[in-house]
Every structure is written in C-alpha cells, then in structure tokens.
Structure 1
Amino acid sequence: MLGLTNRILHVQQASNPSKYDEDKQRLAGRQAEDHIENLLKELGGIPNCNIFRSLRVPDEFQTRRHEIDLIVLTNYGLYCIEVKNWAGKLISCKNGDFWEQRKTVTKENKTFSQQTQYPNPLSESKKKTNILRLHLLRSGVCLPDSKCTSRVVLTNKSCKVDDTIKNDPTVIRYENLHIFATSFQQSYSTILTDMVVPSFFRGTLSSTQLQQIRGSLGQIGTWDVLQLNGGKKLIGDYKGCPEISVNRKEVNQMVFSHSRNSTTGTFWAVLGYSPTTCVTMYKREQTSWFAKEIVASVTLPYNHNIGFKIAGDTTEAKISANDIDTIFFST
C-alpha cells in the first residue's frame, strides 16, 4: 500500500510541474539582438549566411571562450557587434576602464537610484574582435586589423549618454540604428563594379576568402538552450546524463514529452507503474518537408536529473526532466 501511495504522489508531482517564467531583462536583451539582426537584413541587405549570432570564440590557448553577440560578414570585412539594452544614463568613468549606469528603479512601491559599473564595452568589443581575428588566422584565414571592425550598439530608446560616449564613432545609439543598418547597403554601381573589377583592386574580400570565413565561423560553437516549462530559457552547456548519448553533428534538438494527465497517471499507478518522460532526439539536417526525422528516443523516470552548466555559473545544475520542454544544441 505504501508503494501505491508513493506512486500516486509522484503522479501528482509529474502532473503539476513547476512553472518558470522568462526573466524580463534577459528576454529584452535577446529581443534587442533580434531587432538589430532584422534591421541589418531588411535595411542593410545582409543575407542570413553572413550573420552569425552568439558565437563563442576560443582564445589562443583554448582555455576560455568569448561570446560575440553579432558577427556580420561583408565584402569589406567583419563587423563584431556588441548589443546593449541598457536603460538610464551611461557615463564613461575617468580612467575609461568602466562605464557607469545610473537609473531609477522601483521595487515594492519604493523608488530609488541605482548605480552599476560595467567594464568598458568598447574595450571588451575590441578585445573580442582581435581574438576572433587571431582564431581565423589559426584556421588559415588571414585578415588584417583594418578588415575587422568592432561596434557597440545601444538599443534602448530611454538610454542617455555623456559626451565622451556620444562622440565615439564606434558607439551606435538608438537614434542612429537605421542609419547604421542602411550603411551596409550596396549601391547598384558598387554591385556592377564588383562584377568586373577584381577584388584586389577594389580593396574587398574575394569570393574565396568570403567562403573560407563563412566556413571558419560556422565551425565556432554557440550556446546550448534549455527551455523550461513556462517558457524560461537557460543558456549554457548541456552536460546530459549517462542514459542519453547525443551526437551534436547529427542532433539539433531534444524534446521532452511528459505525462501530465493525473487521472491516467493514477490509473497506471494502481497497475504498478511510475510516471516517465519520453525524450526524443531530432535530426539536425531534415530530409523531409513534412515531418522531423527522429534519430532516437529514450524513456526516463520523470524526476531524472539532466546536467546543464548555465552560462556564468561555476557549478553544473541538475534539472529534473519533468521541468524541461526542449533542449536545442549548438554545433
């Protein structure tokens, strides 16, 4: 009888999972990156194949990876773009190593001023851009400094900046977003010139170089994304569990199917069964237009733990399978 009682308790827990709402600040940050990407495509005419999101570029000794929000490839070189959705007033500190954000915050019906210092994003962006250039060099793609440009884009309409930041040409403020995106457009005369004049004389990258750069950037990994019940997304590295073996080159997502019906679950509990979760792995490159191709499926106890190292955390999180909707894998 004790076993039946325990199984019914497990059914109740499986049927009523915790709900995790998306963090508003993180969501706003991702939406800001989406907005900049869309502007570059719509106003700048940048094709999908020349825009890369959230690449994690390894340093010289492969000891650390540095994330770049957006990388844009053009005939004239690479643009590494850091997107900041900061609100309030931004002030460059005296030594230039930090920016200070000053904003008014309301919490529990109380309003107060908040000051936060961040490492200078201009310096950080330039550092990451150089790390990317050196990584490409190790991959056999040689680009001079002049072909690798860094930009910091401020997307929040309410953001105000001091004169030091305002006068820096590498900072793109909200009111200049459309001008920045439009600057990537190619005129008809340029397109015609590109067709007849060799790239060496135009000072642009050759089609071979562009293809090599795309190939190298395509080999750089991004983050894995774990989506929880309720919509919250965790960014980090999937660590998994012994029962599931994932080939990243073959699998692009893993979907968790749950038993949420308490009546059905209770029926099976009486028959001696405990709640389970079915994990289905889907193929990265689809060969069918009508259905996703399944690579494999595994059945786990509903409360089985899945290892996931969240970006910024030093320890690996153990997340119940019952709380997971989907895991998307980077390359």
Structure 2
Amino acid sequence: MLGIGNRLVQAQQASAPTHHAEDESVKAGREAEQQLVELLRKHGVPNGYVYQGLRVPDGFRTRKYEIDVVVLSEYGIYAIEVKNWSGRVAVSHDGKSWVHGKKDINKEKDVTLHYDQVHDNVLIGIQQKAQLLRNHLLRNESCLAEKYFHPRVVFMNSNVQLCDKLKSTKEVIGQEHLLKFLESFEKGLAWSVANSMIPSFITGQLSYSAIESARQGLCTIGTWDVLQLNGGRQLIGDFKSCPHISPNRDDTARLDFKHQRNATVSSVWAVLGYSPQVTVNMYKRNSTSWLVGSTLGSVNVPYNTDVTFRVAGEQVDSKIPVNDIHNITLSV
C-alpha cells in the first residue's frame, strides 16, 4: 500500500484533471455537419435515412474512408462532404487540387496573415468514396445502378466565396444553392399518391424494396467511436481496450466515467487508506434513456489506468488516462 503522502498526491491529481479544450476549427466543422443533418430532417428526410460518419471500406478492406453525411432517398443515395470553410475557394490549374485562401488575425499585434492552403480535389475525393459505398452495398446484395449515387460537396459557411468553376458545378453546393438542395428532398401529398401508383421503372426513382435493401446495407457500415475528454475535446477513432473492462459492442453503446472531483473528499479518503478510483458505467445499446435500469453494470478502476485508443488518422495507439475521460460512445 502506498504511503499517506503518495495517496494525498494522487487525490490532488485525481480531483484536478487536465483540461482538454476543443480546437475551434474542429468544433466548427462538427457543428456544420450537425447543422446540415438538422436541416435535412427539417425538410422531410426521416431520421432513419440520414447517416453520419459512415466508414466505408476500400476494395481490399484494408482501410476505411469516412463520409460525413449519407442521405437515402427515392432519388438515390447522396454521399456528402461537408465543409465549413470561409474565404475564397478555387480549383487549381491542373484540376487536381482546391486552393483555399485563408487568413489568420493576431489581435495582439494587429497583424493579418493571408495565405493559400492547398487540398486534394474534394469533389474527386467524395466521388471515389461514393464508388466505394456502392461497392460495399453490392457486396451486401443491394444492387443499385451507378446513376443512383450522387456525390456532393456542401459548404455551410456563409462567408465562403466559390470560384466560377465551382459555382457552375452541380455537385458543389454553395450557400446560394443550399435551400434549393434541401427543398429537393421535400415531398407533397400529390407526389406521394402518384409515386405509389406509378411503377419505379417509369418514374426512374428507387422502388420501396430497393430503398429498404439499401437501408439494410447502410446499417452494416460502422462509424467511429467517440471519446470525450474533460474540457470538451472529442477524439474520434477506435476504442481498443481498457484494463478491467471488456464491453461487448453488440450490447454496449456507451461508457460513462464517474470521478471524485472534490479535493477535500478525495483527501479524506486518502487519509483513510484509499487510492482514487474511477467508476465506469456501461449502458445498453438501443436503450431509450441513460436512466437507472439501462446499465449493464459498473466497474471501478484505478484513476491512473490508461485507455488504449487509436485516434483517426494516427499510425499508433494513444494511451489516455481514465481520469481525463468523460465518456466513450461505441459504434457497432
């Protein structure tokens, strides 16, 4: 057993975790995706037909590519890349890149720095992901023609200025065309009656059976795990392991980490001979609430236990102290 001095140091550390603030640009991008999803629902797209953060495998199933938003409709499947960029966006001379004009403002020095950031052609990227999505559905016996897959790049920031070439590209949705894009998903009563009476091969739209087959195929695609840190920062990636915890993903949707943050109480427990611990509550998947009765169980782990988590885009696993974790949402 550790001496009382060491336990008091641990108690102090456990009650004052590291504050992990979210990067503002990352937060804004995530909020832009959520804003688009809410607008789609507002314009009539059912909840079960909008998917976020789907990870589509490549042809050899050795790597997965994320699609920000996928929408299933009678007109086909929309694979959408959401951008929250502000400033001017233009296509490079060779068409392989997009050039994003940015500026950084240093208020303390009253200096504004203008510079160009070069990205791979975003439209080509989402077109390739849409093809991977189609291939995945074909492997799952949802055989839709290529014409039913619609890649789109949607800019959500009203301060973006697209070059003429991007403005004239139907797959690129700027602010001036966003409302029309959203309204294209709306269906009136007359349309619903007519569509139910006219065969799909005449209307050119997907049949009900084709939509259901596609929906089932989309439900087989996983998303990211989300780890929320103290301070609000979120990490997306894959939860690998944590000592003393072995959640079954089929049953477990979320892990909540409960901490003792009161320094006085922690010190009292330290004097009594106890080292700080974190209580991990495991919640059932498909439960209607996070209330009492929806838990699968609880486990106490030492506060300095590490969670192994592979952050998206990283080549090695990260070791994250449970004392810094608020919760982990597990994908299927």
TM-score normalised per structure 1: 0.96
1:138-168 Cα offsets, whole Å, 9 max, x none, are: 1111111111111100111111121111111
User: How far off its partner does 1:94 sit?
Assistant: 0.7
User: How far off its partner does 1:197 sit?
Assistant: 1.9
5 Å matches for 1:111-130? 111-130=112-131
C-alpha separation between the residues in 2 aligned to 1:82 and 1:290? 35
Q: 1:201 aligns to what?
A: 202
Structure 1 letter corresponding to 2:70: I
Classify 1:23/1:292 alpha carbon distance in 2 versus 1 (closer, same or farther; 3 Å). farther
Q: 1:13 aligns to what?
A: 13
SS of equivalent to 2:3: helix
2:213 aligned with 1:212: yes
C-alpha separation between the residues in 1 aligned to 2:54 and 2:150? 16
User: How far off its partner does 1:289 sit?
Assistant: 9.0
SS of equivalent to 2:11: helix
C-alpha separation between the residues in 2 aligned to 1:225 and 1:290? 20
SS of equivalent to 2:20: coil
Q: 2:104 aligns to what?
A: 105
2:276 aligned with 1:266: no
CA RMSD of aligned residues (A): 1.6
Report percent identity of matched pairs. Answer: 43
Unaligned 5+ segments in structure 2 are: none
User: How far off its partner does 1:292 sit?
Assistant: 4.8
User: How far off its partner does 1:42 sit?
Assistant: 1.1
Q: Is the 8 A contact 2:243 2:305 kept in 1?
A: no
Q: 2:141 aligns to what?
A: 140
Structure 2 letter corresponding to 1:319: I
Unaligned 5+ segments in structure 1 are: none
Q: 1:64 aligns to what?
A: 63
Q: 2:166 aligns to what?
A: 165
Q: 2:32 aligns to what?
A: 32
Structure 2 letter corresponding to 1:87: S
5 Å matches for 1:171-182? 171-182=172-183
C-alpha separation between the residues in 1 aligned to 2:322 and 2:2? 25
Q: Is the 8 A contact 1:82 1:151 kept in 2?
A: yes
C-alpha separation between the residues in 1 aligned to 2:290 and 2:243? 33
Structure 2 letter corresponding to 1:95: D
C-alpha separation between the residues in 2 aligned to 1:288 and 1:69? 26
Classify 1:230/1:39 alpha carbon distance in 2 versus 1 (closer, same or farther; 3 Å). same
Classify 1:288/1:227 alpha carbon distance in 2 versus 1 (closer, same or farther; 3 Å). closer
User: How far off its partner does 1:200 sit?
Assistant: 2.7
Q: Is the 8 A contact 1:256 1:278 kept in 2?
A: yes
Runs of 4+ in 1 over 3 A off after TM superposition: 287-292
Q: 1:300 aligns to what?
A: 301
User: How far off its partner does 1:189 sit?
Assistant: 2.5
* Deviates most, 291-300 or 115-124: 291-300
C-alpha separation between the residues in 2 aligned to 1:97 and 1:2? 60
Structure 2 letter corresponding to 1:185: E
* Deviates most, 202-211 or 62-71: 202-211
How many residues were matched structurally? 330
Q: Is the 8 A contact 1:39 1:178 kept in 2?
A: no
5 Å matches for 1:243-322? 243-286=244-287, 291-322=292-323
C-alpha separation between the residues in 2 aligned to 1:66 and 1:251? 24
Classify 1:12/1:138 alpha carbon distance in 2 versus 1 (closer, same or farther; 3 Å). same
